[in-house]
Structure 1
Amino acid sequence: MRLDRNRPADRRLGNVYRFGAALTGGVLVVCGLFGAADQSTLLTSEGEVVSGISATEARGFLMVAFGSLLLGGAVVGGTFASTVNIVLGAVFVLSGLTALAVLDTPYNLLALRMPNVICVFVVGVVLLTFGMYGRFSGRLPYDNPYWRSRHPHAVPEPPRRQRPFFVGRG
């Protein structure tokens, strides 16, 4: 039997990463499909407002693409899902900062408004939280697989069972 070193031994962490990627990816795909529906122009500075958030076809396609990446990460699971959550979370936070920079300029080709920017930040922070859960911290427990992989020399061996001295002696 060969162990897969890319997957942590603790499957509970893998379930957290899968759940976060699947939940966020599913929401992004559904919102992206609703946003892309009934739109006639790809890039525009005016978008139809759906539930308080302006929607354009290009942003709908982007949401479906990112949601599909997250769903793919949820299917693979393990450390891969965690890494996908972290990378896309950082992408969402950086795109939120970029959206703030172009909010009231002629370069706002995705018809972004402040509620859109807030949603992008929330999705980014949620993805970063799910991706970093149990992976990054100053005080990870000693039985955490990430702590063990970073400190292979400090991992204590499990205690050996000693046979009592009176067993088997007459």
Structure 2
Amino acid sequence: MAHNPVNHPARPVYRAIAGLIGLYLVLFGIIGVIQNAGENLFANDDNTVLGQGVNLGGSVLSVLLGVVILAATGLGRNIDVRVNKPLGYVIMALGLAELAVLRTQANLLDWSIATVIVTMLLGVTLLTVAMYSSVGSEDEAEASRSARLVL
């Protein structure tokens, strides 16, 4: 049995945080698309959006991730948990991959260190939110509580 709580009392707060993450990604991406309009998709021209480096490709990716997170959060009923948990890992892996190629020509998304830091924070926050947003019946919640007490 997983050690993630079911029907956590702060579940609405965690879902709101997931919604804010999705909203931030969408707004960041839209501003990036507007600022990088007419540029190559993977240009390395040091454009910044909200203090973070990004190009048109990174902006489009941000919008797509944000829309998926917002849709999953809006649907709820553990769909958000099933979507946000793997997306949290993917976002953190993307941040690590971009950190590895930050000062090379392989920096396809034209990220800066600020973008990597924000991405890693968003990924770990999304993963945490997913771990505490699970809903279930009262029997499942009681089983989850009793499993945590048997340590």
Give the TM-score taking structure 2 as reference length. 0.78
Q: How does 1:50-69 map to 2 (within 5 A)?
A: 50-69=49-68
Greater gyration radius: 1
Cα RMSD for the two superposed structures: 2.7
Correspondence for 1:34: 31
Give 2:128's aligned residue: 129
Measured after TM superposition, the shift of residue 17 of structure 1 is 4.7
Over 3 Å counting, the alpha-carbon distance change for 1:51 and 1:71 in structure 2 is closer
User: Aligned partners of 1:88 and 1:9: how far apart in 2?
Assistant: 20
1:118 partnered with 2:117: yes
Aligned residues: 138
Matching residue of 2:77: 78
Change (3 A) 1:28 1:118: same
Cα distance between partner residues in 2 of 1:151 and 1:34: 47
The DSSP-based 3-state class of the residue aligned with 1:78 is coil
Aligned mates of 1:95, 1:44 — CA distance in 2: 18
Higher relative contact order (CA 8 A, sep 6+): 2
In percent, how many aligned pairs have the same letter?
Answer: 33
Runs of 4+ off more than 3 Å: 8-14, 143-147, 149-152
CA–CA distance in structure 2, aligned partners of residues 104 and 38 of structure 1: 22
Mind listing any 5+ residue stretches in structure 2 that lack a counterpart? none
Cα distance per residue 1:75-127 (max 9 Å; x no partner):
11021112222111101111111011111111111111111110110110110
Higher helix share: 2
**Structure 1: how far apart are the matches of 2:133 and 2:139?**
8
Distance 1:13 1:84 in 2: 19
Tell me, what secondary structure is at the counterpart of 1:111? coil
Which amino acid in the other structure matches residue 79 of structure 1? N
Cα 1:20–1:78 shift into 2, 3 Å: farther
Q: Aligned partners of 1:12 and 1:84: how far apart in 2?
A: 21
- Which region of structure 1 is more displaced relative to structure 2, 77-86 or 116-125? 77-86
Distance 1:96 1:120 in 2: 6
C-alpha distance in structure 1 between counterparts of 2:45 and 2:25, whole Å = 21
